[in-house]
Copies of this chain bind each other. A is one copy, B any other.
C-alpha cells in the first residue's frame, strides 16, 4: 500500500442524498477525502477545487447522466478510477461506460466494501463466472429496451415507436427498477 501524505480524493455523484451521505461517511471513515455532487452539472463545477482520484457516478439523475461525466473526469485526471453505480443497471449502459473508460460497473444496492473492491483491485480476468441460468423474461425485456434506448440516444418517443410500444407504457417500464440480476 502506498502511503501518501495526502488522502485520496473520492467524488460521489448521485442525486439520492441519503445514499450519498451514507456512502460518503463510510468512505471517509476509511481514510479518503470525499465530496458529494447531486448532479452531473454540479460535479463539473467542483472539479476546479476538488480533483478526484476516485469517483462513483449514478446513471439516472435529474439532468445529464453520469456516463457523460466520464470523459470530463478523465480530462481532469487521466488516472482517475471511475465506478458506475446505479439502480438502473443494464448491459448496454455498462458496455458504453466501460468503453468510455469507466473502471467498473455495479448495480445498486452495493455495500461500501464491494464498491472499494471494484475501484481498487479491479484487474480484468478472463475467468469471470458465467451465469448458469438464462435471463428471466423480465430481465431480457429490460436489457432489450435499454439497448434500443441507447441506440436512439435516450429518445423515449423514438424508442417507443421503434419497439412498436406505446410511449406511456415505455415510460412506466423505465421508471420501474429492473428485475435484480442474481447469481
Q: Which residues of A contact B (CB under 8 A)?
A: 59-60, 65, 67-68, 70-71, 87-96, 98-100, 104-107, 124-138, 140-141, 143-145, 147-148, 151-152, 162-165, 181, 183
Once the chains bind, are A90 and B183 in contact (CB under 8 Å)? Answer: yes
Once the chains bind, are B126 and A71 in contact (CB under 8 Å)? Answer: yes
In the complex, which of the residues B96, B124, B133, B163 contacts A124, with contact meaning CB atoms closer than 8 Å? Answer: B96
- Quote the shortest CB–CB distance from A103 to chain B (angstroms): 9
In Å, the complex CA distance between A88 and B132 comes to 7
- Quote the shortest CB–CB distance from A15 to chain B (angstroms): 13
Once the chains bind, are B100 and A133 in contact (CB under 8 Å)? Answer: no
- Quote the shortest CB–CB distance from A177 to chain B (angstroms): 13
In Å, the complex CA distance between A91 and B96 comes to 12
Residues of B contacting A104 with CB < 8 Å? 95
Residues of B contacting A89 with CB < 8 Å? 91, 131, 135, 143
Once the chains bind, are B91 and A130 in contact (CB under 8 Å)? Answer: no
A-B contact pairs, 21 of them (CB 8 A): A59-B130, A65-B127, A65-B130, A67-B126, A88-B132, A88-B134, A89-B131, A89-B135, A90-B130, A91-B91, A91-B105, A94-B98, A95-B105, A96-B125, A96-B128, A100-B126, A107-B140, A107-B144, A133-B164, A137-B141, A140-B144
- Quote the shortest CB–CB distance from A6 to chain B (angstroms): 29
In Å, the complex CA distance between A133 and B158 comes to 11
Once the chains bind, are A162 and B134 in contact (CB under 8 Å)? Answer: yes
Once the chains bind, are A92 and B144 in contact (CB under 8 Å)? Answer: no
Once the chains bind, are A95 and B96 in contact (CB under 8 Å)? Answer: no
Once the chains bind, are A133 and B107 in contact (CB under 8 Å)? Answer: no
